[in-house]
Amino acid sequence: MIKSSLIEPDGGTLVDLIVPESQRYSKMTEIESMAKVNLTRIDMEWVHVISEGWASPLRGFMRESEYLQSLHFNCLRMEDGSVVNMSLPIVLAIDDETKGRIGSSLHVALVGPLGDCVAILRSIEIYKHHNKEERIARTWGTTAPGLPYVDEVITPSGDWLIGGDLEVLKPIKYSDGLDNYRLSPKQLRKEFESRKADAVFAFQLRNPVHNGHALLMNDTRKRLLEMGYKNPILLLHPLGGFTKADDVPLDVRMEQHSKVLEDGVLDPETTIVAIFPSPMHYAGPTEVQWHAKARINAGANFYIVGRDPAGMAHPTEKRDLYDPDHGKKVLTMAPGLHKLNILPFKVAAYDNRENKMAFFDPSRAKDFLFISGTKMRAYAKNGENPPNGFMCPSGWKVLVEYYQSSQAQEASQ
């Protein structure tokens, strides 16, 4: 049982579905006679998420009862009557051919994109995935065309879902030079305890860190110290799974984050940078509950949430897909998240009077410049510098080099 003095994982025990090395050979022998189910890259990301306990107490891909609870109630009811949050269905789709190949099998082997067997799915249940429209409507609040996860995962997927208990043969690795950042909830909890943290505050992001983010994170630590905590630790936790095409790639973001720590914008002694392996849905208030719930399992007892978390622009209209304030409001009311302290953050912008990022002061609104992600990308693509104090210079250099390299590649193609 992996428990933290900070906060218990959902269900009381952190799920760990990695097969012990001593049992690996016998499992591999058993797999030879099993029906095989092929996984996509994003399916593999979900295997990673489930296997390490991010979705505790979930022990595999959802069976129908779990899927319906997640889809309709955003939570799962435990045997003792308690409720844990589970706002996104974590499911595995298969097509008619695969279903026919499985037949009446009780267990199946899961085969990764490289052709290697990565896991066993036990005591399987196959159920309908015909009405994808309902899944999309309930998760995203719209069926408008152009939703990245829908286009990438749901639309091309099969008309059946297969659930069951996972046994993962060995830890999931990507061999991309970033595996050292992929700390499991178990590893993070050990790290928090070794640093003697009495509070952990998590910050989820999928963008480069600018000085406004840093101001917010440093201010949060100051607030926690004022509340009486002795050693609050920041979990800077960029999302590392599927993201849409125009997001900055993970390797570039991680290099930029490392520069932020090297330049002392964030304190390495009180900051842990790790990768959250989940794919991104861009499902706004529904998805932000998943992001918060997963951090409970990693040991965080405070969660920072800002404007339009997990949101995106409407794919067909000139507006935000979600109300920008709903995410933080939903987190304070969501079933199963009552033990997590939600920290809504103040709005930061560039203060032209002070020449630095500062918390927005409506009494002198004309002094502030809001630099959107679109504007930041335009600066970087054109090789221009943003206002002095917007981002640490070495971190900005990483972005400029990435965008200019991308433009050169596009031109050559």
For residue range 305-361, what is the model confidence (pLDDT) as tens digits? Answer: 988 999 999 999 999 999 999 999 999 999 999 999 999 888 999 999 999 999 999
**Backbone conformation region of residue 270, classed left if phi is above 0, alpha if psi is from -120 to 50, else beta:** alpha
Give the number of residues written for the chain.
413
3-state secondary structure of 356: strand
Q: What angle do CA 289, 300, 53 make, to 5 degrees?
A: 70
Let me know: does 192 contact 300? Beta carbons within 8 Å: no
For residue range 358-373, what is the model confidence (pLDDT) as tens digits? Answer: 999 999 999 999 998 8
CA distance 56 to 4: 14
- 324-352 residues labelled b (16+ CB within 10 A) or e (exposed): eebbbebbeebbbbeebbbbebeebbbbe
Q: Is the pLDDT of residue 410 over 60?
A: yes
What do you get for the CA distance between the two ends of the chain, in Å? 53
For residue range 62-92, what is the model confidence (pLDDT) as tens digits? Answer: 999 999 999 999 999 999 999 999 999 999 9
Let me know: does 86 contact 75? Beta carbons within 8 Å: yes
Residue 339, both tokens? 């033990």
How many CB atoms are closer than 10 A to CB 374?
A: 9
Q: What is the pLDDT of residue 5?
A: 58
DSSP characters for 66-107?
A: HHHHHHHHSEEE-TTS-EEE--S----EE-HHHHHHHTT-S-
Q: pTM here?
A: 0.96
Q: What is the pLDDT of residue 392?
A: 97
Average pLDDT across the chain, whole number: 96
Q: Which amino acid is at 211?
A: N
Q: Is the pLDDT of residue 387 over 50?
A: yes
Residue 183 burial by CB count (10 A; 0-12/13-18/19+): exposed, middle or buried? buried
Let me know: does 108 contact 31? Beta carbons within 8 Å: no
How many CB atoms are closer than 10 A to CB 399?
A: 24
CA distance 340 to 13: 17
If we measure between CA atoms, which residue out of 188, 126, 193, 186 comes closest to residue 162? 126
> Once rounded to an integer, what is the mean pLDDT over residues 17-21?
97
Q: Is the pLDDT of residue 1 over 70?
A: no
DSSP characters for 157-191?
A: S-SEEEEEEEEESS-----SS-GGG---HHHHHHH
CA distance 153 to 88: 14
Q: Is the pLDDT of residue 374 over 90?
A: no
Helix (H) or strand (E) holding 205: strand 199-205
> Once rounded to an integer, what is the mean pLDDT over residues 262-284?
98
CA distance 69 to 298: 23
Let me know: does 107 contact 167? Beta carbons within 8 Å: no
Q: What is the pLDDT of residue 225?
A: 96
For residue range 158-209, what is the model confidence (pLDDT) as tens digits? Answer: 999 999 999 999 999 999 999 999 999 999 999 999 999 999 999 999 999 9
- 91-108 residues labelled b (16+ CB within 10 A) or e (exposed): bbbbeeebbeebeeeebb
CA distance 74 to 287: 10
For residue range 198-245, what is the model confidence (pLDDT) as tens digits? Answer: 999 999 999 999 999 999 999 999 999 999 999 999 999 999 999 999
